[in-house]
Each structure stands twice: as C-alpha cells, then as structure tokens.
Amino acid sequence: MGGFIDLVTDRQFQISLLVALAAIATVYTLVEPFLVKDRLAERMKNVADYRERLRQQQRASFAKKTSLRSTPQGALKQIAENLRFFEIMDAGEARKSLMQAGFRGEKAVITFMAVRLGLPFLTATLTGIYVYVVGAMNLDSFGKLIATFFGFFAGFYLPVIYLQNIKQKRQQVIKLAWPDSLDLLLICVESGMSIELALAKVSGEVGQGCSDLAEELGLTVAELSYLQERRQAYMNLAERTGLECVKAVTTALVQSEKYGTPLGQSLRVLAEESRIERMQEAEKKAAALPPKLTVPMIGFFMPVLFSVILGPAILGVMGLE
C-alpha cells in the first residue's frame, strides 16, 4: 500500500499521467466525428417504437378492461416498491425531469434512482480513501470527517445537477427551433392540412436542424392517433418540453379543438411572439458580453498592451535600447 501511495504522489508519475490523458483526449477529439451516430434516425425509431406501444396498449384495453393478475416486475423495481423508495425520493418529479431531458420509460426512472442512491456512498468512500489513506490533504480528524460528509452530499446531488444540465440544454435547443417550426405549422394549417398531417410534416422538416423537437412532434402525432382524448396529447407535448412557448401553442390547439376558434390567427400571433422572444434573448446575451469581457481584457490584453507601449520607453531609460 505504501508503494502505491508513493507512486500516486510522485511528481514524475503525475506529469506522465497528465500527458497520457492529454494524448487520449487528442486522439478522441480526432476520432469522435467518425463515431457520431445519426441522431435523427435514432429518435425517429423511438417515435415508431412509441407508436407501436400505444397501438398495443389500445388493443389490450379493447381485449380486456381489467386484469386481476399482477404483472411480472424486475427485482430492483420490486425492492424499490417494497421500500417505498419512489415515494421517498419523489419519483414523480424525477420522471418529469427525465422526460424533459429526453429519457423516457420506467427503466430510466429506476436507473436514475439507483444512481442517486448508490453514488453518495461511492463518493464518500473515495473521499475517505483520499483524505484518510492517501493523506493528500493536511486536515485534522474533524476536517477529514467533514470532507467525507461533503463527498456524500456531493454524490447525492450530482445526478440531479447532471440531469438539470441536460434538461436545460435540450430546452434551449427546442426553444431556438420553435419559432421556425411554428411558421411551418402555420403554413401547413392554412394550406388545408389537418393538424396531424401538419405536425408530421413539420416534424420531418425540422428533423435535420433539431432532432429533439422532431421527436416531440412525432410523439404528439402518435398520441393523437391512439389516445382517446386529443387534449391529452397536446398537454403531454407541453409537459414533455416544459416550455411556456410550447404550452401557449398547445393551449391554443386545445381551444381550437374544443370551441372551434380559428387556429391560423392564433398560430400567427404566437409565432410572432416566439420570434420576438428569441430576438430578445439574443439581445440580452449581446448586452451581457461587455461585462464578461472585462476580466479577460484586464488579465490578458492590458499587460500585453502596456508592455508594447511602455517597453521601448523603459529600455530607453535603462540605456538598453
């Protein structure tokens, strides 16, 4: 054990490890473009699978309305349900966040809950080994205990932070592509297409630019075909995305289905509002750019500028010119 600690703390070994990691990262950067999969084809396959599941559920509901037999479950799911783990960890909110991040199905929820349960113990163990065995941090006993507890709580919240990051990035991508998709939807609706055909057409057109939005629209088309209430399909679209602009459009679609209000005018107004909001977001980022550039300018540009301007004068005073 002492030899391993000496090897880990050796400066030459650390430098070699960093060089090896840099080489691996360089190779991965060069090879990664050749390993990228067709995201649109994969997401459209998910839409087809979802459509097939809806069809099977509809056939099963027609075949038998009720069933008293229990369905087989995995061992992990049975343990979680027996311990009421889903209720304690708020599985409903986790399922909603996973759905908005693009992860669907019961398997994603169970995996997320398992990671959130096991990762704190893993991070606490690694932190304890680092502070107690390796002794890299000069801390007293109480400080080491606090560091271990900090590792435990960090492991508990790391999956949530990671999920929120993926969710926000996905929402941002959908939000940027939403105004253009609304314009296409307006054109399709005013040309006489039904809302199902219009959504399917828009899903195919925006697929190359935003596969996430194409997947959501494809799921909505599938739900409109097989769900008993069309209103539920529109509400599911708003819930899966978690965006206010999408919710406004789904509300307009529900009102049009229920009261027969003209859909074209509503879509035109909503599309214009979405474009204005997207422009305001761009202006906000542009306005926030000068304060963000202040520190890099002071730290990198000003010393170089001063050296270029004052360098010859200093050399002249020192008689070195």
Return the closest-CA partner of residue 216 out of 247, 185, 240: 240
pLDDT exceeds cutoff 90 at 208: no
Q: Model confidence over 4-38: pLDDT tens digits?
A: 566 556 667 667 777 788 888 887 777 766 665 55
Band (89; pLDDT cuts 50, 70, 90):
low
Return the closest-CA partner of residue 203 out of 226, 178, 169, 225: 178
Please give the share of the chain, as a percent, with pLDDT higher than 90. Answer: 3
Whether 265 is covered by a domain: the verdict is yes
Q: Is the pTM of this model over 0.85?
A: no
- The 3-state DSSP class for residue 69 equals coil
What is the per-residue pLDDT for 1? 54
Range 231-250 average pLDDT:
88
Whether 59 is covered by a domain: the verdict is no
What is the per-residue pLDDT for 42? 65
Is pLDDT larger for residue 53 or for residue 311? 311
Band (193; pLDDT cuts 50, 70, 90):
confident
Return the closest-CA partner of residue 121 out of 154, 76, 85: 154
Range 59-71 average pLDDT:
45
Please give the torsion angle defined by the CA atoms of residues 103, 105, 111 and 114, in that order, rounded to the nearest 10 degrees. 120
- Residue by residue, DSSP assigns 224-257 as HHH-S-HHHHHHHHHHHH--HHHHHHHHHHHHHH
pLDDT exceeds cutoff 50 at 297: yes
What is the per-residue pLDDT for 303? 83
Range 292-320 average pLDDT:
81
What is the per-residue pLDDT for 165? 93
Is pLDDT larger for residue 23 or for residue 68? 23
Whether 106 is covered by a domain: the verdict is no
What is the per-residue pLDDT for 13? 67
Domain that holds residue 250: 171-287
State the total domains in the chain. 1
- Residue by residue, DSSP assigns 119-168 as HHHHHHHHHHIIIIII--S---HHHHHHHHHHHHHHHHHHHHHHHHHHHH
Whether 77 is covered by a domain: the verdict is no
Whether 176 is covered by a domain: the verdict is yes
Return the closest-CA partner of residue 246 out of 264, 281, 220, 283: 220
pLDDT exceeds cutoff 60 at 251: yes
Whether 57 is covered by a domain: the verdict is no
Whether 206 is covered by a domain: the verdict is yes
Q: Are 98 and 164 in contact (CB under 8 A)?
A: no
Stretch among 55-59, 179-183, 301-305, 317-321 having the lowest mean pLDDT: 55-59
Residue whose entry in the numeric block shows the structure tokens 């979680």: 80
Band (65; pLDDT cuts 50, 70, 90):
very low
pLDDT exceeds cutoff 60 at 61: no
Of 18-22, 187-191, 259-263, the range with the highest mean pLDDT is: 187-191
Return the closest-CA partner of residue 246 out of 167, 164, 169, 174: 174
Structure tokens at 35: 């390993």
Q: Are 120 and 153 in contact (CB under 8 A)?
A: yes
Residues 6+ apart with CB under 8 A from 117: 85, 89
The DSSP 8-state label assigned to residue 70 in this structure reads P
What is the per-residue pLDDT for 166? 92
Whether 283 is covered by a domain: the verdict is yes
What is the per-residue pLDDT for 108? 83
Helix spans in the chain (H):
2-9, 11-35, 39-63, 75-82, 85-88, 91-101, 106-128, 141-190, 195-205, 211-226, 230-241, 244-259, 263-287, 289-296, 302-317
Please give the share of the chain, as a percent, with pLDDT higher than 70. Answer: 75
What is the per-residue pLDDT for 71? 41
pLDDT exceeds cutoff 80 at 176: yes
Residues 6+ apart with CB under 8 A from 240: 99, 100, 216, 219
What is the per-residue pLDDT for 140? 75
Stretch among 64-73, 101-110, 278-287 having the lowest mean pLDDT: 64-73
